[in-house]
Amino acid sequence: MAENNHGKKVVDSFTIRETGEVVRAGDCVAIRPSMDDDHENLSLARVEKMETCCECRGVAAQVRWYYQPWQTKHGSRTFHGKKELHLSDRIDTRSAYTFEAKCVVHTLKEYSKLTTAQPEDFFCRLEYKVDSATFMPDQLSVYCICEMPYNPDVPMILCPGCKER
């Protein structure tokens, strides 16, 4: 454990008591809502760093939130997959004791290669800037006659014109 400039110690890992999973900076986790949250669903976030917390006598984690498409100003679109997330620029601090389980957030390319997506598998192809309600990249590649971005939940058929699958 290294000490930072606030006298708090950086924590290399945290074990989720209920699952035994070890979480490190860079891992993605499902987080139980706090009393201040206006929803009851688990939220997903990427752990940026963890350090000892004097106030709660535990481990505080700096997390960067993922948004589901319906949570953005633009809402869900037909090309959004059921397991699609957007990595936001919103960063908060949460107690590591609110971690429910680890999850895996793949790139779209990695996710598309999975033979079977497990409940803990998600994918992300866009970053979401919360204050400006904009996405990076601001455009997605479109395919074939439908001219829609790829949705891994909708099978593509071989187009004789462009040979896309």
Per-residue pLDDT of the chain (165 residues; tens, 9 = 90+): 555 555 688 999 999 999 999 999 999 999 988 666 555 578 999 999 999 876 667 899 999 999 999 999 999 988 889 999 999 999 999 999 999 999 999 999 999 899 999 999 999 999 999 999 999 987 777 766 667 777 777 766 665 555 555
| Cα→Cα distances 5→9, 51, 53, 149, Å | 9, 12, 14, 45
- CA dist list (Å): 23 to 6, 90, 135: 23, 20, 28
Query: Quick check: 146 and 140 in contact, CB under 8 A?
Result: no
Fold for domain 9-137? SH3 type barrels. (2.30.30)
Q: What is the pLDDT of residue 96?
A: 94
What's the pLDDT at 164? 58
Phi-psi map region of 141: left, alpha, beta (phi>0 left; psi -120 to 50 alpha) = beta
Q: Which pLDDT belongs to residue 132?
A: 96
**pLDDT at position 150, please?**
76
